[in-house]
Amino acid sequence: MKALQIIESAYRCIVEEQDDPAIWIVQVLNRAGGEVDILLRGNAVNYAVSRQGNEGLTLGSWQQICPAKVDQDLQQALDSGLKVYAIAEDIAQRGIPEAKLLSGIEKLSRRDLPNLFEQYKQVWRW
């Protein structure tokens, strides 16, 4: 089964977890032999920015000592052969320069989504 994972909600659960649950499940499915790819849209296009700073988070007396590294998780997904798409309009709207994107991110326009969806048996939205 070929499935596309649409991730729109960014930085969900990463204060209490060491990774984004949607990226984590995609990596697990991939290692189990599933054909899965990722589409970043909305605020989740920020995941595609390389070398994100994530140190120094403190809430009251608690300090996050194992922060999530979503850019590194995405790079691992790319390195394992997954396709990672990102909506070009969402990247532009957030002012993210091309030079800051992870290598291998495939930008596409919203108008290209129907053609992309046709390539997958299932489309999951997170």
Task: Name the amino acid, one letter, at 65.
Answer: I
Q: Is the pLDDT of residue 45 over 90?
A: yes
Predicted confidence band at 13 (pLDDT cuts at 50, 70, 90)? low
Residue pLDDT, tens place only, 94-114: 999 999 999 999 999 999 999
How many domains is the chain partitioned into structurally? 1
Residue pLDDT, tens place only, 16-40: 555 667 888 888 898 999 999 999 9
Where residue 89 sits, what CATH number does that domain have? Answer: 3.40.1260.10
- DSSP track, 57-81: -EETTEE-SS---HHHHHHHHHHTT
Per-residue pLDDT, averaged over 65-81, amounts to 83
Query: What per-residue confidence (pLDDT) applies to 105?
Result: 98
Q: Which two tokens stand for residue 15?
A: 């204060």
Q: Which range marks the domain in which residue 27 is found?
A: 2-125
